[in-house]
Chains A and B, each alone.
Chain A
Amino acid sequence: MRIGVFVCHCGSNIKATIDAEYIAAQVQQDAKVVHAAEYPYLCAEGGQQKIINAVREYQLTGVVICACSPRMHENTFRKTAAKAGLNPYQIEIANIREQCSWVHKNKDAATGKALKLAKAAIARVKLALPLFAGESAVTKRALVIGGGIAGIQTALDIAEAGFAVDLVESTPSIGGKMAQLDKTFPTLDCAACILTPKMVDAAAHEKITLHTYSEVEEVEGFVGNFTATIRKKARSVDMKKCTGCGACWEKCPSKRIPSEFDCGLANRTAIYTPFAQAVPNVPVIDRATCIKFKNGRCGLCADVCQPAAIDFTQEDAVFTQEYGVIIAATGYQVFSLDAYGEYAYHDSKNVITSLELERLMNAAGPTGGKLQRPSDGKAPKKITFIQCVGSRDITRGKPYCSKICCMYTAKHAIAIKEKYPEAEIEIFYIDVRTPGKGFDEFYRRAVEVYGVRYIKGQVGKIAEMNGILHMQAVDLLENKRFDTTADMVVLAAAIEPSPGAKPLAQMLATPMDTLRFFSEAHPKLRPVESATAGIFLSGVCHGPKDIPETVAQASAAACKAIGVLAKDKLITNPCVAKVNDKKCTGCGRCIDVCPYKAISLESNAAEANPALCQGCGGCASLCPSNAMDLNGFTHKQVLAEVDALCR
């Protein structure tokens, strides 16, 4: 072992309170230290060259650098070592600036401590094994889970970069919540007009394969080498033959099934496509409500289908596929209002949620775009909106602000006033939050141009009496409780992650916060990556956001995914856990402590997968027989460091 020790002055930052010459001299007492020198700026070009020359001249096999924190220049000095032909992991840094010269004014104490730190680093480098970054292959294919605007945008961007993408959607058609919307803010352009072209692009793109009416059942593997098992539920319709002519759902006798797409405001048949512009435009037989499946009679749809595409015997198809990256885009659903009896949502038909209003306003909706009261079909003259129903509520609802409601309520108000100028609109709010680009101007237009009345207050109770909704309300600016009435009440309900998110997170072993939103790797610096390598987050599955943000995040997630797919090999962090299988008894206790599920039992001995392991060391310090160890921070190295510091 031939060790070289280099003590940096860092200008005066170290030299001022530490006697560098003394340390350079003292360390030479160790027989293995064959060279010691000091230098004003080791991190500068000159300093690094000095190290490289010394490594060659004295054939050094280990280098100790006493300078600033390794968090500053560990990589710089590792590159220097590599340039000098030394393994980059056979250099150690003693932090004698941030943790010594800068925090201890007394020169003797600081120098004494610096020498101890240098000796500890020497003890570590003596035991430093050469480490080589591992490599793992990358399957050049992406899996996007969730076919809403987020999933579609991510899939399109990845496909544009030339990589194959599988887009898996649980409902019969892609489009997600956005397909249900009428207009979108802040530009009031119609949702279908801007969404359907993207849906068609996604379907037509040769690099994208759509798997609708399908679900991911199992995911294994790690970044670059995921294996997913996907179940394509039986549509009972042959997708190649079907032309989407619609003869079948015209004739289907089972017509009284509440349409999920229309939030139950309209009915659908047993064989159906969720909406007219569905992509793929191939219906699905809902086997729970289809008479043929329930008691064997009927089969009308098969009779009228010219291309004979109906196939009642179709089975679920389960297939597995390799992927390099996975993007979660599971979107959201409206928070259930069961706990909010005071709004009489379940008692009165005329109290609806904003999503239901979207369907009522939508030209392709149950009322053909005419705004009617669901109870009697009359046009409502006075409409009241109530904000923050279920949001910002730590007792019965969600603690967070759902972010999009202030804007879509202003949008509803403007859209209604455009069609029905004489309609009277009141909006009860706590705070109006419209911070986006052009958002506040949009909200002010609702107030100033369209005369929408915003009341800073709340509604305490709603009761429908002979067709009129009576409301107990309070106006905080007037500081008065007052009663008012309305023909229709729209509740801006909170949004929450879709039910599929939790099981998916468990399959992907990605962390989730207590509200079932996917946790990002870092809230500010890595917002679109999950903590698990190779898994990316797109859209509301990561947190409430509007369409502009969703699309931005979708493209960002795609870009991060492309970053992985573009590589042929993935470099793995060499400071990972490694097992001495002679000592390992296969007790499996390390498996549960690993946050990345990197450890598995192979023929009764543990094995850590270098591509998954991030090097935290939890397993190494749990193992009773020290069979599990951590490269770069081995038991011996840390114990040697402890000895050097305590002697």
Chain B
Amino acid sequence: MSVKIVAFCCNWCSYAGADLAGTSRLNYPAQVKIIRVPCSCRVDVQFILRAFVRGADGVIVCGCHLGDCHYSTGNYHAEGRLTQLFSLLDFMGFERERVHLEWISAAEGAKFAATMDAFVTQVSALGKNERYRNMYTKAGAQNE
């Protein structure tokens, strides 16, 4: 069963980059499904954790390059918040490679496709995310 990837893309830069990857007819795996948000700072910690709980195997958040944010400081807040989330998930024993934050501008269609390719390969290497589901189950404690 191939891995499921959710990508949160900010409307002004990375979502436009994804569109550009489309107009340039580039290619990246179909497991990647994109959710549009106004800015990377709209991505709430809950959305990412909810995706894992509902069966996603990898979550990637994309935003504008620092300094290019349409809302001037949105991506700085996103970076601060997600760095803390990623370090906590790693601390709790979840595979750090299942989450990723990438800055992609509206002109970087090729980078978007390449980033998605690399991320899908990286997550596929880890396989399905069993750890998120078994963290609280007794049975889980035995076989880990």
Contact = CB atoms under 8 A, between A and B. Distances in A.
Whether chain A touches chain B in the assembled complex (some CB pair under 8 Å)? yes
Interface of A: 69-71, 95, 97-100, 102-106, 109-110, 112-113, 116-117, 120, 511, 531, 575, 593, 595-596, 614-618, 620-622, 630, 632-633, 635, 638-639, 641-643, 645-647
Interface string B58-79: 0000000000001111100100
Nearest to A593: B77
Given A102-B23, A643-B54, A638 B37 contact: yes
B30 A113 contact: yes
Interface in B86-140: 113
A40 B15 CA distance: 25
- Of the candidates A116, A511, A646, the one having the most CB atoms from chain B within 10 angstroms of its own CB is A646
A619 to B, nearest CB: 9
Contact of A645 (B6, B15, B27, B70): B6
B114 to A, nearest CB: 12
8 contacts: A69-B19, A70-B36, A104-B27, A616-B39, A635-B44, A638-B44, A642-B35, A645-B6
A102 B21 CA distance: 9
Contacts, number: 129
B22 A71 contact: no
A642 B71 contact: no
Given A645-B33, A646-B56, A595 B19 contact: no
A97 B21 CA distance: 11
B45 to A, nearest CB: 7
Contacts of B29: 104
If over half of B's interface residues share one DSSP class (helix, strand or loop), that class is named, otherwise mixed; here it is mixed
A618 B42 contact: yes
B6 A618 contact: no
Interface residues of B, number: 44
Contact of A621 (B44, B51, B113): B44
Contact of A98 (B6, B23, B42, B73): B23
A102 B22 contact: yes
B13 to A, nearest CB: 11
A642 B37 contact: no
Given A120-B33, A595-B71, A635-B44, A642 B51 contact: yes
A26 B53 CA distance: 25
A389 B40 CA distance: 42
A486 B46 CA distance: 72
Given A616-B74, A621-B41, A621-B43, A646 B54 contact: yes
Given A531-B72, A620-B42, A103 B37 contact: no
Contacts of B44: 620-621, 635, 638
Given A99-B22, A103-B113, A622-B77, A71 B15 contact: yes
If over half of A's interface residues share one DSSP class (helix, strand or loop), that class is named, otherwise mixed; here it is helix
A131 to B, nearest CB: 14
B2 to A, nearest CB: 9
Given A595-B71, A638-B37, A617 B25 contact: no
A642 B47 contact: yes
Contacts of B73: 595, 618
7 closest A-B pairs by CB: A98-B22, A617-B42, A621-B44, A616-B71, A646-B54, A618-B41, A109-B30
A641 B22 contact: no
Nearest to B48: A642
B16 to A, nearest CB: 6
Contact of A112 (B30, B38, B51): B30
A97 B22 contact: yes
A628 to B, nearest CB: 11
A622 B16 CA distance: 25
A630 B56 contact: no
Nearest to B36: A70
A595 B74 contact: yes
A120 to B, nearest CB: 7
B50 A630 contact: no
B45 A621 contact: yes
B47 A98 contact: no
B42 A621 contact: yes
